[in-house]
Amino acid sequence: MTPITQRIAVGLEYDGTDFVGWQVQRAGRSVQGVLEAAVSAVADQRIGVTGAGRTDAGVHARCQVAHFDSHARRTPRQWLLGINSNLPEDVAVRWVRHLDADFHARRSATARRYQYRIFERKTRSALLRHRTWWRRGKLDCAAMTAAASSLLGERDFSSFRAAGCQSRTPMRRLTTVALYRADGLLHLEFEANAFLQHMVRNLVGVLVEVGRGAAPPAWAAEVLAVRDRTRGGVTAPPQGLTLMGVRYPARFDLPSPDRSRN
């Protein structure tokens, strides 16, 4: 009898500091690579893992979502404990679910939520160097919020994509940009149906230019309109960025990005 294959979804968090990014590459340590090794050890078979998104080198995740197929008979708790016991300290699985075969970590997702954190102080922080972008002066949140409002909606984000971005279309639907200060940090949150390569970091770069007074709020709309990456601001460094969570249709009953902060 042919073993029945099950589709397993996992939610995981990781510190991206020492990774080349999510995706397996020719050289370097990837999140996908260490996760596949851990899952394969528990399943006692070689397993490939598909993630909801490809975070860059140095980018963190509070709740990345991935799936894999296996005919190994394990309970969710056995998968959870077994995978975590085989993962390095900078990656941890938070939850495991058995799902129907029509679930796909990337294609089933309806939205992704990212958070970018900026540390505003005259002196640098030794403790926050891998989790924030250090800026020496206070930024103007009101001006940044005004600039961000012109970016919402279904837009052509060519001005905010990396030169090597492989997406077939620059069109994305940005539904949320929120700025607030908490715990001594400036937080910028973004939610969209999907993001282009470096899109969040390039958005942050433009908003910071506005926030420090180097450009008016209307400049963000101008950058968007020209559809030319060379006309935008700097690309914010990766260490301030965290994938907070991925949103799926309710029928899959998976944790939402709104609950992924806990």
- At position 155, the amino acid (one-letter code) is R
**What b/e string do you get for 61-86 counting C-beta neighbours within 10 Å, with b at 16 or more?**
bbbbbbbbebebebeeeebbebbbee
Q: How far is CA 111 from CA 53, 103, 257, in A?
A: 11, 15, 9
Helices and strands (DSSP H and E) totals, the chain: 5, 10
- The string of DSSP codes covering 76-116 is HHHHHHHHHHTS-TTEEEEEEEEE-TT--TTTT--EEEEEE
Alpha-carbon distance 219 to 233, whole Å?
Answer: 10
Catalytic residue among 44, 56, 183, 253: 56
According to DSSP, the β-strands at 91-99 and 6-14 are antiparallel
Q: Is 15 part of the annotated catalytic residue set?
A: no
Alpha-carbon distance 34 to 39, whole Å?
Answer: 9
Backbone angles phi, psi at 211, to 5 degrees: -65, -30
- At position 196, the amino acid (one-letter code) is L
CA angle 193, 196, 199 (to 5 degrees): 105
Residue showing tokens 């900078």: 90
- Which of the residues are catalytic? 56
